[in-house]
Amino acid sequence: MRKGIATPIALVVLMVVFTSLLAATGYMALGTLKGGASERVTYQAFTLAESALEAFPLLVRCGDNLPSAYTLSVSEGPALSATYSYPNRERTAPAGGGNIRVQAVAQVGGGKATLEQTFQVGCGILGAVPAALTSRPDISVRGNAQVIGYNFANDSGAYPVTRVLAPGVPAPLPSDAFSLTVADASLIPVGSYVQIPSPVTPRTYQVTGVSGNALTLRPLSPPGLTDAIPPGATVSLIPFAVKAYDPATSTLTLSDARGLLVGQTVRVAGVEATVRSVDLNTNQVQLEWRGVPPAAIPEGTPFVPQILGAASAGSISTVGAGGISYGQAQYSPLVPSDPDALFQRTFGLTKEEFLERFPPQSADNFNGTLRDWELKVVRGPLRLTGSRSLCGQGILVVIGNLTVNGTCSTGFQGLVYVAGDYDQQGNSVLTGAVVVEGAANLRADGTKIAGTGQGRGKIAYDPMVLLKLRLQSQGLASVRPLAGTWRRP
């Protein structure tokens, strides 16, 4: 995905930085006309530090080291530079997002200035969907089409992602951190939690480091004398793992809260609850328990959200053999009436910000195929049928109406977001999730999913597809200054 989004990001960065350079250079020139020599260099240092803060959002890449310096080229004279420091000692932009306090220090001649601001960093798409099919308009499922959510009753909250390579770890397992080599660590971020049979009963570990395919694991409890990790053992990721629990306020701190929604039904430690608040800066969620609240919740416990078959701000109907599995919610508060709110909770950016970074391509230039979990933005109306059927893996965003009248034989894996109306027909299989805004004036027949005699129109939710999209889109950084945090320390 990084390859797919790199070019538009680079263009936007160049445009914004160039504008900042022109403005900053103009301020520098203005500064030479004001006051004495000491005042001029102090003013220029202040302006340089301010320019560094303005450029900071453009230099951040999620998961990479935070920028250490900013350079400003001046048409007549040597380049000017400022340095960044981080009072809270962050080294990298957190993969799950959060707040970063930044100080920009600039020196020009004998003048020095330090400015500080706190930025909110979001990494990758949020992918917050309550259902396999989420639609502001009414939903109609007809023919023999099926829309399938996820089996909440049987969902353990841990999903296989890789396997252990030889030699594994023989008994007795270390009681402190140890290294384990796996076949593929690309879906296992630092700070996450995994379950591994040891050798039969699963044990939970926190991932404290990843180097290539070598994991550094911290056991959450002392191992038994016969516990071992055999080669070939399955490694399962817990996307939402409990890190801490405050029973007094029913607040849980999770390994990652992206993808969770206020009003969503969840289960943790065997008790169901409703999500009352989600704080992506702290990865904290507050719950309203439906049963007796747990007195304690161990670290690493899976936090399991319910994913319905379909959710709509309007009505939901099935006709003929059409069906919706694992629940539906019509006229649901889980689907915002504001299309912009629906877009922002899906991508973590406003639609305006998103389209500035990823200008839509013409529908005539899109062949229907996405590769390697890339992001494609297409200006509708778009009709995918026949030789131009939907295929591959990734995120497809259509600004306008979309009709899918077939997928390739392997189907499509990913997220389809339609900023318009959506029809799905024929022999089409989408694994992941579909989100539909609808047109500005919601049409009477709404979102239509239909199957025909040639096959079954089907949308099936898969938690691993959404997890891959969140991880593969980490380069999609949203960095905003927090109001009221700018100051001179």
In tens digits, the chain (489 residues) has pLDDT values of: 444 444 444 444 444 444 444 444 444 444 443 456 678 888 989 999 999 999 998 888 776 788 999 998 877 778 889 999 999 988 877 666 678 999 999 998 888 999 999 998 877 788 899 999 999 999 999 988 999 999 999 999 999 999 999 999 999 999 999 999 999 999 998 899 999 998 888 999 999 999 999 999 999 999 989 999 999 999 999 999 999 999 999 999 999 998 999 999 999 999 999 999 999 878 999 999 999 999 999 999 999 999 999 999 999 999 988 999 999 999 999 999 999 999 999 998 889 888 988 899 999 999 999 999 999 999 989 999 888 999 999 999 999 999 999 899 889 999 999 999 999 988 899 999 999 999 866 666 689 999 865 566 799 999 999 998 888 776 667 788 999 999 998
C-beta separation of 100 from 90 below 8 A:
yes
C-beta separation of 207 from 217 below 8 A:
yes
C-beta separation of 448 from 438 below 8 A:
no
C-beta separation of 205 from 262 below 8 A:
no
- CA dihedral (351, 422, 444, 312) in degrees, to 10, reads -70
Using CA atoms, how far apart are residues 194 and 426, in angstroms rounded to an integer?
39
Q: Where are the domains of the chain?
A: 2-123, 131-150+307-472, 159-238, 242-305
pLDDT of amino acid 308: 98
Using CA atoms, how far apart are residues 336 and 262, in angstroms rounded to an integer?
11
pLDDT of amino acid 200: 80
Backbone φ and ψ of 146, nearest 5°? -130, 135
pLDDT of amino acid 97: 66
Using CA atoms, how far apart are residues 129 and 223, in angstroms rounded to an integer?
38
In a 13 Å sphere around the CA of 56, the CA atoms on its Cβ side amount to 31
pLDDT of amino acid 109: 83
pLDDT of amino acid 282: 87
Residues in contact with 154: Cβ distance below 8 Å, sequence separation at least 6, in sequence order: none
Structure tokens that stand for 14 in this block? 């160049």
pLDDT of amino acid 23: 44
Does the N-terminal peptide bond of residue 57 adopt cis geometry, omega within 30 degrees of 0? Answer: no
pLDDT of amino acid 38: 74
- CA-nearest of 445, 201, 176, 136 to 317 is 445
Is the Cα dihedral 422, 424, 430, 433 positive or negative?
A: positive
Query: Which CA distances in Å does 24 have to 42, 148, 260, 358, 483?
Result: 14, 54, 41, 27, 22
Point out which residues pair with 350 in neighbouring strands.
none
pLDDT of amino acid 336: 95
C-beta separation of 426 from 457 below 8 A:
yes
pTM exceeds 0.75: yes
Using CA atoms, how far apart are residues 402 and 360, in angstroms rounded to an integer?
14
Query: Which CA distances in Å does 401 have to 266, 421, 430, 439?
Result: 33, 5, 17, 8
Look up the CATH number of domain 159-238. Answer: 2.40.10.170
pLDDT of amino acid 55: 93
Backbone φ and ψ of 253, nearest 5°? -100, 125
- CA-nearest of 151, 149, 157 to 236 is 157
Backbone φ and ψ of 57, nearest 5°? -60, -25
- CA-nearest of 157, 151, 60 to 102 is 60
Residues 131, 416, 124, CA angle at the centre, nearest 5°? 85
pLDDT of amino acid 456: 60
Is the Cα dihedral 128, 148, 472, 156 positive or negative?
A: positive
C-beta separation of 210 from 188 below 8 A:
yes
C-beta separation of 279 from 257 below 8 A:
yes
pLDDT of amino acid 92: 78
pLDDT of amino acid 363: 96
